Amino acid sequence: MMQYIAIPDLFFRRPFFGNGERKVGYDETTAFTEIMRHAYFVYDIAAVQLVELYKPWENPEEAISAVLSLWKEAKQEIALLLRQRKRREAEGPMIHFTAHFLSVLHWMNGVGISSLQDMDQNMWHLPVKPINVGERILFILDGPSHYHSFIQLSELYEEAEKQFLKQMVVKKTRLKRKKTSPL
């Protein structure tokens, strides 16, 4: 059954919200990947609004891997639209996957997004992030239907994926050491 969560003022930021949207919908029986395919910031908004829902930042391996897979599928379609100079058709998916990138960035740091206001400043506090991520995100949001924005977003995803994989290797190495350590 479809549930709705009111979008808090802290999330009203163009191009994500601000066109009359007042709530986001989800169905608890729908798989995470399907919810992410059609909506963004659902889990982050749920946490801010104190709605009991899955928290992807608590199990980032699974959640981030799923979002990265969705990006890899969509990336080819977006590239094709931009090559065909169909900028209007590319804008929606670009905004959608910029939102997902912001979620991935926060989730790999073990936190949800609490606000989209001053997000470039808020990203400074995240310990794991691509270089100049704040400025690069603002560049993308300034022209999400531009080819150069697509290139920036692609590079941000690649950098974040490398950092995420490194994080997972370090985490697994630490766990192995703990298991084998006689102390």
84-132 pLDDT, tens per residue?
A: 999 999 999 999 999 999 999 999 999 999 999 888 778 888 999 999 9
Q: What is the DSSP letter of 39?
A: -
Instruction: Report the SS3 class of residue 4.
Output: strand
Instruction: Name all contacts of 116-123 with Cβ < 8 Å and 24+ positions apart.
Output: 116/10, 116/11, 116/12, 116/13, 116/16, 116/17, 116/41, 117/10, 117/13, 119/13
Question: Measured at the alpha carbon of residue 39, what is the angle toward residues 37 and 44, in degrees to the nearest 5?
Answer: 120
- Reported as a pLDDT band with limits 50, 70 and 90, residue 182 is low
Mean pLDDT lowest among 26-30, 42-46, 94-98, 109-113: 26-30
Residue 3's H or E segment, with its range, is strand 2-6
Q: At what angle do helices 133-142 and 147-180 cross, to 10 degrees?
A: 150
Looking at residue 121, its pLDDT comes to 79
Looking at residue 119, its pLDDT comes to 82
Looking at residue 118, its pLDDT comes to 83
Calpha distance 124→52 (Å, rounded): 28
Q: If you average pLDDT over every residue of the chain, what do you get?
A: 92
